[in-house]
Chains A and B, each alone.
Chain A
Amino acid sequence: MTTLPAVDSSFIDVPEVAPRKLARKASGVDRVFELTASAIGATVLLITGGIGAFLAWQSVPTLEHYGWSFFTESAWQPEADSLGIGAVLVGTLSVAAVAMAIAFPLAVLTALFISEYAPANLKATLISLVDLMAAVPSIIYGMWGYFLVMPHAAAFALWLQQNFGWIPIFQVDSDPNAAVWDVSRYVGSAFCAGIAVAMMVLPMSCAVMRQVFSQTPPGEKEAALALGSTRWGMVRTVVIPFGRGGIIGGTMLGLGRALGETIAVLLIISPDFVIKPRLLEVGTNTVSALIAGRFGDASAAQLSALLTAGFVLFVITLIVNTLAAIIVNRSRSGAGTDA
C-alpha cells in the first residue's frame, strides 16, 4: 500500500486565476504599419473624392447657367452660348455599346478557353499575351483602328446596311446599292471607334472573368465530370453559374473603361454633334474625345462646360465601376454557386 505524500497546500502559492492581459492597441512596428497603411488607403479616397469635388465645384457655374438644358442640348457652340452634352452622351453610350457588343463574347470565350480548355503549358503564355494587350497604349489602338481596320469596317458597315438596313441602328443616310458606294459616309463612325475600343476593353474584362472562373471549386467540377458530364456540360453547369458574378463584373469594368476611352476615339471619329441612333454613319463624338479635342483652345466659359461634361462622365464611370466591384466581390464569396 502506498500512500501519496500529503501535500501541504500552504506551500504552493496559488495565484489568482486571471487571463493574460491582451493589448487591444497595436504597438511598435505594428502600429507604424497600421498607421502607414491606413494613411495610404485614405489618400486614395481623398484623391478620388478630391477629383469629384473639384469637378463638381467647377461645374457649378455651367449648371447654373444652362440648367437642365445642358443635358438635352446637342450642339456644342460655346461661342454662340449654346451648348450641351446631349449628343456627346449619346455618342459615348453608342461607342461603348458597340465596344461591349464586340468585346463581351470575345472576353467570355477567351477567359473560358484559358481557364478550362487551354493545355497547361500554353496557359501562362496566353495569360501574358492577354495582359500584354492591356499594356499597349491606346494611341496604338487608335492608329490600328484608323489605318488598318477602318477600310474593312466601312465595307462591313455597307454589308450590314444592305442586309440589315431595316433595323434603325444600321441605317445610313446613303444609297447602299449605288454603283460606286459613298465610302465617306461609312467611316469615322461610332462603329469604327467601337471596334478599337473593344480591343482595349477586352483584356481587362477577360482578366477579371478568368480569375473568377479559375476559382470554381474543383470538387464541383470533378463531381460534374464524375456524373458523366462532358467538358462543355461541366462548363455550362458549374463554371459559368459560379462565375456569373465575374462575368457581369468584368463586363461592367470594361464598360467603365469603354466610356472613358479618349485618344483612340479622338483619332478615329469625325466629330459631329447630332443625337443619332445610326451607329454606322460618319460623325459622332464622345465626352472624353470632346474634352481632349476642345481643351486646348477653350475659353474660360467653355472650360467650365468641359469640366462639367467631365464631371458627368466621372459620375457615370464611378457608378458603373462601383457596381462592378460589388458584383465581383459577391461572386468571390461563392454566393453565386447555388444560383
Chain B
Amino acid sequence: MNRRLSQLLVLLMLALLPGLVTGAAAQADEGLPAPAQRAAYAQIEGSGSTWSEVIVQQWISDVDALGMKVTYNGGGSSQGRKNFAQNVTDFGISEIPYPGVDEFGNADNSNGREFAYVPIVAGGTAFTYQLKIGNELVRNLRLSGETVAKIFTGQITDWSDPAIAKDNNGRAFPKLPITPVVRSDGSGTTAQFTTWMDAEYPSIWQPYYGRQGFTSYYPRQGRMIAQSGSDQVMNTISGFSGNGHIGYVEYAYPINKDFPVVKVLNEGGFYVEPTQYNVAVALTKAQINQDKASDDYLTQILTGVYRSTDPRAYPLSSYSYMIIPTGAQDQRMSTAKRQTLADFMYYSLCEGQSKAGPYGYSPLPLNLVQAGFQQLAQLSTADPAVDLTNRDVTKCNNPTFVAGDLKRNKLAEVAPQPASCDKQGEGPCGTETGTGEPSTDDENALETETAPAKKGKKATAAATPTTPPDSGGTPTGATTIDPVTGEVVNPPAGTNVETVSDTGVSGEPLYATPTELSAERPMDSKAFGWLAVIELLALILVPGILISRRAGRNGATR
C-alpha cells in the first residue's frame, strides 16, 4: 500500500516536472524587456502631501485596473521630501520645492538624489469651519484675507468680532470662541498658507512668527489645536466638539465631508470660493519658473495669484508637485518601476485631469501638462528601455484645452463671474459653499456638472470618453461635451441649468442675533444631577435589597 503510494507520488512528480520547467522558462521570457507588448510594471511607492492625496489616491485606484500598482502614504509634504531624499520612496509629492535649508537652518534637500519636479494638479487651500447657529450649520461665511490672518495669529478670538461681522456685510455671529486647527506635522498646506500671510499680511504674520518667511511647521499658540494630516484636521473640525473650529485644508476635504468653506475676499472685491474655475482663473497669474537649467524648473511664485484683481480669482490657489527620480544610477529605480511611474503620471496628467474638478481640485493648464511630459521624458533619458511613445498632450481630455493654443486655459475663460451678492458690501449670498458648484448669477454660463464621483461608483480608467473634444474649439453642435467629465451631454448647453446654483433666491441665509446667554447657575442643574445619581443607585440597589429581604423572611419562616 505504502509502496504503491510512493510510486504514485514519483509518477506525479515526473508528470509535473516538465510543467515546472516550462513555467520557469516563461517567467524568464517575461523578464526580458523587448518582446513584451506592454512593458512590465513593478510596484512603486510614494509619500508626501496630504493636500493632493485625495486626487492621487483616486488616480491610483484608476490605474490599478491597468495593472499598475502604486502605493501612496500621505504624511505631509516635509515627510514626502525627506523620504525621497533618503531613498525610501520612488516618488514624493510636495507643495513646495526643496528649500535647500529649512527656516531653522537644517538641511532640507534631496541629499544628492537626482530629481525633477512635475506639476500634478492645481487647487485651492480652503478654510473650512464648523459654526452653528441654533444647531444649524452656517454655510456661507465670508472673510477677508486680513481677518483670516488675524484669526490664525490669535488677534481675533471670537466669532462675534466686529471684523467678521463687517466681512459679512453687518451680519453678526454668536459669541463663541474661535478655535483654529493647524497642522502639527511638516506640511505643504501650512507652507502655502504662511507664504500667503507672509506676502500679504507681513505686519500680522511676522510678529506672531517672530521672523519673516514661511514655515512648514505652524507655530501653535493659545487655543489652537494641532493635528497631523489634512484628514485629521478635517475630522477635528467636523467632529462633535468642532463647533467654533476653523482650519485650512485643500478644498477636496470639505467637499468630501459636505462641509462649508470660507469665501475669501480677493483683490477684485469679491468673496470667492476655491472652485475649479476660480482656482484656474487665479493661477493664470502664477509665475512659473521657465528656466530649464534651474533646479526649481516649473516651480511657482504666487504673488501674482494673491493679488489678482480678477473678481473670480481665489487668492490661495497653488499647484502641487511630484518629485520624480531622474538619475540613471538611481538605486531604487528599475526599468519596470520607471515605466510604471511614467505611465501612472501619463494617466494622471492626461486623463486624470478631467477628474480634478469634481474632486475639489482644478485641472492643470495644458502648457504645464506638456512641460510635465517633458519632465517625464527624463525617465526615458535615464533608461532608454522606458517606452514613452505616443504621448500627445492634445489628445488628453483636459477641460482647459483650447485647440491650437496651449497657453490659453478654457476653464479660466468660461469661469462664471461671481454673483453680485458676493461683492464686498453686498449680500451675503444664501448659497451653500463646499459643494464644488460656482456661486454665480449667470445661469447659462456652465453646463451641468456631474456629481463628484466619490458619491458611489468608482470611475475607472476604462471609462474613457467616447469622443475627444473636437478640434473646432468651443462645442456648438447638437452634442455638447461636458468640459469637466468629457462625457457627451445630450441636451444642448443652456437648457440644462437646474443644478447651477442660483443665488440669493432660494437659499435661506442664516442670521444670528449675537446675544450672549448668561451662565447657568450651578444650583439649577446640580440638584437634578444629584437626584439622577440617587435614582440610578436606587434603581440598581432596591430590587436586590427587596429580594434579599424576602429571601431572609422565607428562610426565617422555614
Binding site for B on A (CB under 8 A): 79-81, 150-151, 154, 159, 162-163, 175-180, 182-184, 186-188, 270-272, 282-283, 293-294, 296-297, 299, 301
Contact = CB atoms under 8 A, between A and B. Distances in A.
B158 to A, nearest CB: 12
Contact of B225 (A79, A180, A282, A299): A282
A135 B486 CA distance: 50
B104 interface: yes
A293 B240 contact: no
B245 A162 contact: no
Interface stretch (B36-44, B72-80, B254-262): B72-80
Contacts, number: 81
Contact of B242 (A184, A272, A282): A184
Given A162-B522, A296-B75, A270 B245 contact: no
A258 B265 CA distance: 49
Given A179-B520, A297-B82, A184 B243 contact: yes
Given A162-B526, A179-B517, A297 B244 contact: no
Interface stretch (B178-186, B343-351, B505-513): B178-186
A297 B78 contact: yes
A149 to B, nearest CB: 12
Contacts of A151: 240-241
Contact of B104 (A79, A163, A187): A79
Nearest to B186: A297
B534 interface: no
Nearest to A298: B82
13 contacts: A81-B104, A150-B241, A162-B526, A163-B529, A177-B521, A179-B517, A180-B517, A182-B244, A270-B236, A282-B225, A296-B76, A296-B83, A297-B76
A163 B521 CA distance: 13
Contact of B518 (A179, A271, A282): A179
A221 to B, nearest CB: 24
A81 B103 CA distance: 12
B102 A79 contact: yes
B106 A296 contact: no
Contacts of B82: 296-297
A299 to B, nearest CB: 5
B217 A177 contact: no
A138 to B, nearest CB: 17
Contacts of A163: 526, 529
B520 A177 contact: yes
Contact of B179 (A154, A179, A184): A184
Contacts of A293: 184-185, 228
Contact of A184 (B106, B217, B225): B225
B21 interface: no
Q: Which of B220, B240, B241 has the most CB of A within 10 A?
A: B241
A281 to B, nearest CB: 12
Contacts of B367: none
Given A79-B217, A297-B78, A297-B79, A159 B240 contact: no
B83 to A, nearest CB: 8
Contacts of A184: 179, 225, 241-245
Contacts of B236: 270
Contacts of B83: 296
B249 to A, nearest CB: 17
A188 B228 CA distance: 13
A237 B521 CA distance: 49
B11 interface: no
A283 B225 CA distance: 8
Contacts of A271: 184, 226-228
Contacts of B79: 296-297
Contacts of A175: 519
Nearest to B515: A179
- 8 tightest CB-CB pairs across the interface, nearest first? A179-B517, A79-B104, A183-B241, A297-B79, A296-B79, A297-B78, A297-B186, A177-B519
Interface in B132-166: none
Given A81-B104, A177-B519, 4 more contacts: A162-B525, A179-B519, A296-B79, A297-B186
Contacts of A297: 75-76, 78-79, 82, 185-186
A301 to B, nearest CB: 7
Contacts of B76: 296-297
Nearest to A182: B177
Nearest to B83: A296
B176 interface: yes
Contact of A186 (B103, B184, B241, B520): B241
B107 interface: yes
A180 B227 contact: no
B555 to A, nearest CB: 14
A159 B519 contact: no
A140 B33 CA distance: 45
A270 B226 contact: yes
Contacts of B244: 182, 184
A154 to B, nearest CB: 6
Interface string B521-555: 11001100100000000000000000000000000
Contacts of A283: 225
Given A177-B520, A178-B520, A301 B106 contact: yes
Nearest to A176: B522
A79 B190 CA distance: 16
Contacts of A188: 225
A181 to B, nearest CB: 9
A48 to B, nearest CB: 28
